[in-house]
Amino acid sequence: MKPMTTLTSPISAQAGAAARLPKEFTRDMLPADGPAWLHDLRTRALAAFAGRGLPTTRDEAWKDTSVRAIAETAFVPGPPAPRADRARVPAVLPSQAIPDDGAPRIVFVDGRLATDLATIDLPAGVTVQPLLDAATADPALRTRLEALPLERADAFALLGIALMSGGLVIRVRAGATVDPPLFITHLSSGSPDAATPPHAVSLRHIIDVGAGAQVTVVEEYLSTDDGPSLTITRTELDAADDAVARHVMVERESEDAFQVGVLATRQGRNSTVDSHSILLGGRIVRNDVNPVLAGEHAHGVLNGLFLPRRRQHHDNHMLVVHEAPHCASRQYYRGILADQAKGVFTGRIYVAREAQKTDAIQTSDNLLLSTAAQIVTQPQLEIYADDVRCTHGATVGQLNAHALFYLRARGIPEAEARLMLLFAFVEEAIDRIEPASLRAPLRDAVQERLAGAITADPSPAHARR
C-alpha cells in the first residue's frame, strides 16, 4: 500500500487558486476494490484533479452554478459491494421508478451493480457486461478508459474517473432492433442520519450501437432516502451509420442529492440520436449533453424538461458539435422554476468548417412561477462554415394571464387552471419523447411533480396579476 497522502490544492499554483473550494477529495475517498490498472488510473486522476479542485463560478462552464454545497459535504466512498438486502433490489425500488412493464432493468445502488446480469432476460441483439470485466478483457477498451481528459475536461470528469466503481458496456449488434427499452436505475441511499455518511460515487457507461441498429436506454436516478449523495456519471454512446438510438435521463432523486452527469454521443452517417432529459429531483444537478455529429446526414435531438423548486438548481449544458456536412440538430429545452429555484440552460453549437449545410435549431422556453426563481439561458454559437442555418430563441415568462382568466371565467378554480396551463407547457416536451410508450409514465411523473409545486404554493402573490 502506498502511504495515504492528501492530494489537493496546495500544489495548484494557478491564478485564482485562493478561490478554489476548500473540499479535499483524498485517497481515502477512492474505492478500494477493483483491478490493479483501475487503482493506478484512479490515483492518476485524483492527482490531476487535485491540481484543479472543484470548479468555481470563475470557471466559464460553471459560472452560473456554484458547487459549494458539494465541496462542503464530507463524502465517503460507496460501499464496496451491495449489502445482502440489496441483492433483492428490484423488489425495493422506490415508487418513483418508471414502470418497466417487464423490460430489462439493471440497478446500481450507491455506484455498485446490484443486479445479477446473468438473470436478466435481454432482447436479441444486445449484450450487457459490467464495465470493469469488459475492460480487463479488452485492452482497447481499457486504453479508452485510461485516457485522462487533460485538455478541456473539467474537474468533475477527473473526479469521476478517480471515484469510478464501474458501469456497463452495452453493445447492440448491427441491424438489430432492440425492443423494449433497457432501464438503468441508479439508486442513492442518501444519508438520512449521522450513522450513514453521504456517498460519492461515479459510474461510466458505454453504449455501442451497431450500424442500422435501434435501441432505447433509460437512465434513471432515484433516492431511497433523504440526505446528500454525489453521483457522477458519464455515458458514452456511439451510434454507427444508420443507427437510431434514444437516451432518456430521468432525475428523480431526493432534493438533497447532487448529480453530475454527462452524455457524450458520437453519430455516424444517417444516424439519429435523441437525448431526452427530465429533471425533477436533486439539489444540484448538472446535465451535460455533448453530441458530435460526425457522419453526414446525422440527426440529433436534445429535448429537455427541468422543473426545479425550493432551493433546487438544475444546470443544463449542451455542446453540439457539427463535424460533418448536412447534419441537423434540434435543442428544445423547457424549464418551470418555482420558489427560489435556479435553472441554467447553455446551448453551445459548434459548426466546423467542413460542416456545410448544417441545420441547427435551439429553443429555450422558461416559466418563472415566483419572483425569487431564476433562469439563466444563453445561446453560444461558434460557426466556421459559411453555408449553415443556425437559429436560437429563448423566452422567459410567467403563466399567460389572459389564458388563466379565460379558464377561470369558465369556473375552473385558479389552482386547477394554473395546473392546466403548466401541463400544456410541458406537453410539447413530453410529446417529443421517443419511443411513445415512455410518454405516459413520464407525463405522470411530471404532472405529479407540478401538482405538488402548485399545492405547495397555492397562490403566490407575484402571479396574481
Partner 1 sequence: MLEIKNLHASAQGHEILRGIDLTVRAGEVHSIMGPNGSGKSTLAQIIAGREDYEITEGTILFQGKDLLELEADERARAGVFLAFQYPVEIPGVGNVQFLKAALNAVRRARGEDELDTARFLRLLRERMALVSMDERLLKRSVNEGFSGGEKKRYEILQMALLEPSLCVLDETDSGLDIDAMRIVADGINALRAPTRAMILVTHYQRLLDYVQPDFVHVLAGGRIVRSGGKELALELESHGYAPFMNGSPGSDTATIVTNTAGAGRKAAIAGTGA
Nearer to partner 1, 28 or 431 (CB): 431
Q: Where are the alpha helices (DSSP H) in 5-52?
A: 36-50
Distance CA 236, CA 145 (A): 11
**Least distance to partner 1, CB of residue 415, Å:** 10
Q: How far apart are CA 310 and CA 275, in angstroms?
A: 26
Cβ 416 to partner 1, closest distance in Å? Answer: 7
Distance between CA atoms of 290 and 427, rounded to whole angstroms? Answer: 25
Cβ proximity to partner 1, 221 vs 333, nearer residue: 333
φ/ψ of residue 403, rounded to 5: -65, -40
Answer yes or no: are the C-beta atoms of 265 and 288 closer than 8 Å: no
Nearer to partner 1, 230 or 419 (CB): 419
Other CB atoms closer than 10 Å to residue 39's CB: what's the count?
15
Pairing relation of β-strands 126-130 and 168-172? antiparallel
- Of all helices (H) and strands (E), which one includes residue 328? strand 328-337
| Residue listed under C-alpha cell 446535465 | 287
User: Least CB distance from residue 457 to partner 1, whole Å?
Assistant: 17
Cβ closest to partner 1, residue 172 vs residue 417 = 417
Rounded CA gap, 341 and 310, in Å? 5
| Closer of 222 and 337 to partner 1 (Cβ) | 337
Minimum CB distance to partner 1, residue 424 (Å): 3
**What sign for the dihedral angle of Cα 451, 411, 429, 431?**
positive
Alpha helix segments (H runs only) across 102-148? 131-137, 139-146
Which residue, 1 or 409, is less far from partner 1 as judged by CB?
409
In the complex, minimum distance from the CB of residue 421 to partner 1, in angstroms, rounded to a whole number: 7
Between 37 and 423, whose beta carbon lies closer to partner 1? 423
For residues 82 and 90, give the distance between their C-alpha atoms in angstroms, rounded to a whole number. 13
Helix (H, G, I), strand (E, B) or coil at 230: strand
Does an H or E element contain 186, and which? strand 182-188
6 vs 400 by CB, closer to partner 1: 400
Dig out the grid coordinates for 98 from the structure. 418508471
Using the minimum distance from each CB to partner 1, give the nearer residue, 139 or 413. Answer: 413
CB of 464 to partner 1, least distance (A): 7
Q: Which of 315, 307, 317 is nearest to 339 (CA)?
A: 307
Pairing, β 112-113 against β 105-109? antiparallel
Q: CB of residue 445 vs partner 1: minimum separation in angstroms? A: 18
C-alpha grid cell, residue 178 = 432492440
Q: How far is the CB of 408 from partner 1 (least distance, A)?
A: 4
Min CB(368)–partner 1 separation in Å: 9
222 vs 419 by CB, closer to partner 1: 419
Instruction: Indicate the residue among 23 and 334 with the shorter CB distance to partner 1.
Output: 334
CB of 427 to partner 1, least distance (A): 5
* Helices of type H across 187-272: none
DSSP 26: -
Helix (H) or strand (E) holding 86: none
Cα(157)–Cα(217) distance, rounded to whole angstroms? 22
Residues near partner 1 (CB under 8 A) are: 397-403, 405-414, 416-417, 420-421, 423-425, 427-428, 464-465
Residue that is written with C-alpha cell 429563448 in the block: 394
**Least separation in angstroms between CB 217 and partner 1:** 28
